Amino acid sequence: ATPTAIMVGTGLGAGRGVLFKNATALETAAGVTAVVMDKTGTLTKGEPEVIDVETIDLPEEDLLRLAAAVERESEHPLAAAVARRADARGMPRHHAEAFRNVPGQGAVATVDGHRVAVGNSRLMRAERVALGDAAHRLDALAADGRTAVLVAVDGRIAGIVGFADTPRPTAAAAVAALHDAGVEVVMLTGDNLGTAQRIAKELGIDTVIAEVLPGDKATEVARLQAGGRRVAMVGDGVNDAPALAQADLGIAIGAGTDVAIETADVVLMRSDPLDVPAALLIGRATVRKMR
């Protein structure tokens, strides 16, 4: 590798806020054949808003008050959105006891003597709560690209909360640019399959791996590598760090968590998905100059 080519490539990247941590990262970028992208916070802004509260077994006031009591104890972005909505409505705060966070599924606590569970259908299965008609409502929200979360009170579904998380404005253009460069694009997410498929379709992504537990993202990357792909993983979350480490090239969103940024080989300071194809093309140009 000529030091000059490396210097030029590193400088080109830095000029647009694409930080390659070392020369190897530049060379690896040139050989990437598949890009795996986390959904929440990478392809989307990662700032979910509650847009829909559907009541099933409780008035909306009670539903939101109980759900918010649990979610105030959680650090998940969906939890923060529920708490914000309850605060905006001026709801009294209730104390949650015996709080338990279930990674990739939701949260459980006791509020006013009631057992309240807030999370996805996997959590409801674990809590032995039957979905009944709620399953259809969940599917309908997912078909609209909404992330949806169930609220169960004392073992029965009490309602559903729907969230919107806007795609980053350049996400679709980034996918198109990767396809133009001959690179496969895969979405990897803990969210519901229906929701992920709808957003993937909107962005032009044809492969979706969804409902992946936080601990299993790295395994999914390894599976793609075993299939002969040279994989770049793009992520922002604590959840994504093991997958960033497993990938041939880890790319962190600059607005992401410290762990993701520390683990990655490349950091996108502008948090712009278009900087993913840019990073790969800079790598290719660098390698061409070395020959």
Rounded Cα–Cα distance for residues 15 and 12 (Å): 5
Stretch that binds ligand ADP, among 22-30, 72-80, 224-232, 264-272 (CB under 6 A): 72-80
Paired strand residues for 255: none
Stretch that binds ligand ADP, among 70-78, 83-91, 269-277, 278-286 (CB under 6 A): 70-78
Nearer to Mg ion, 27 or 236 (CB): 236
Nearest distance from C-beta of residue 46 to ligand ADP, angstroms: 8
Rounded Cα–Cα distance for residues 229 and 227 (Å): 6
How many residues line the site for ligand ADP (CB under 6 A)?
A: 22
Residue nearest to ligand ADP (CB): 190
Stretch that binds Mg ion, among 21-29, 69-77, 228-236, 257-265 (CB under 5 A): 228-236
With CB under 5 to 8 Å by kind, the binding choice for 76 among ligand ADP, Mg ion, none is ligand ADP
Site string for ligand ADP, 210-249 (x = CB under 6 A): ----x----------------------x-x----------
Rounded Cα–Cα distance for residues 276 and 260 (Å): 15
Nearest CA among 65, 164, 169 for reference residue 118: 65
DSSP string, 37-103: EEIIIIIB-S--EEEEEEESSS-HHHHHHHHHHHHTT--SHHHHHHHHHHHHTTPPP--EEEEEEET
Rounded Cα–Cα distance for residues 110 and 114 (Å): 5
Residue 191 catalytic?
A: no
CA 116 from centre of chain: 25
- Cα end-to-end span (Å), the chain: 8
Nearest distance from C-beta of residue 174 to Mg ion, angstroms: 15
No. of H helices and E strands in the chain?
12, 13
When asked if residue 165 is in the footprint of ligand ADP (CB under 6 A), the reply is no
When asked if residue 185 is in the footprint of ligand ADP (CB under 6 A), the reply is no
The residues that are catalytic are 38
- Applying CB under 6 A, the residues found at the interface with ligand ADP are 39-40, 71, 74, 76, 78-79, 104-107, 118-120, 147, 149, 189-191, 214, 237, 239
